[in-house]
Structure 1
Amino acid sequence: MTKDEILSKLRDILFQTFEIAPERVELKTHLFEELDLDSIDAIDLAIKVQELTGKRIKPEDFKTVRTVADVVQTVQGLLVA
């Protein structure tokens, strides 16, 4: 899966789960400051990413996620592993 494909799927997830307009979701977008996600939302997002990849995310791998680009990079890492 390419970065653009992951970003597209992530936009869908954020819209369906948190009602965040897809046009607000760019690679540089900060999850907590710009999209107003909180720690519980981050857990929900991690679960959705696990469903997308079919692989378990280690909590320490998701603790450093701050931007949409970080999520994309995490997904890429899981798909390669």
Structure 2
Amino acid sequence: MNRDDVIQGLRDFLADALDLAPESIRADSTLFDELDVDSLSVLELAVFSEDTYDVDLEPVLRDANTAGERADITIGWLADRIVAAAPAESAV
């Protein structure tokens, strides 16, 4: 799994969940400020990440309480966390 594929997956998911055009979601788009993600969308995103990438983002999303912490969470930042935490792919 590579970062670009994860970013594309997150863009597609968020575009559908938030009723946005996928091209309006960039790697540097902030989840809470620019995309205005609400608590239900955070839960849906956590489930999507778990189901799609086998990575639990719920703790990091839940624990982002201050404006500064929330401002740091971009699509690219999430993709980096997913790639770093994803189980190693099996060699065939």
Bucket of the pairwise TM-score, normalised by the shorter protein: 0.7 to 0.9
What is the RMSD of the two structures over their aligned residues, measured on CA atoms? 2.0
Question: In structure 2, what is the equivalent of residue 33 of structure 1?
Answer: 33
Match of 1:71 among 78, 81, 86: 78
**TM-score after normalising by structure 1:** 0.79
Give the corresponding residue for 1:61.
60
SS of alignment partner, residue 26 of structure 1: coil
Structure 1 unmatched runs, 5+: none
Post-superposition CA distance 1:10-43 (Å, at most 9, x none): 1111122222211121111101110111122111
Cα distance in 2, alignment partners of residues 75 and 50 from structure 1: 10
**What's the TM-score once normalised by structure 2's chain length?**
0.72
SS in 1 for 2:46: helix
Q: Which runs of 4+ in 1 moved over 2 A?
A: 58-65
Corresponding position of 1:21: 21
- Tell me the CA shift for residue 3 of structure 1: 1.0
Distance 1:16 1:78, change over 3 A: same
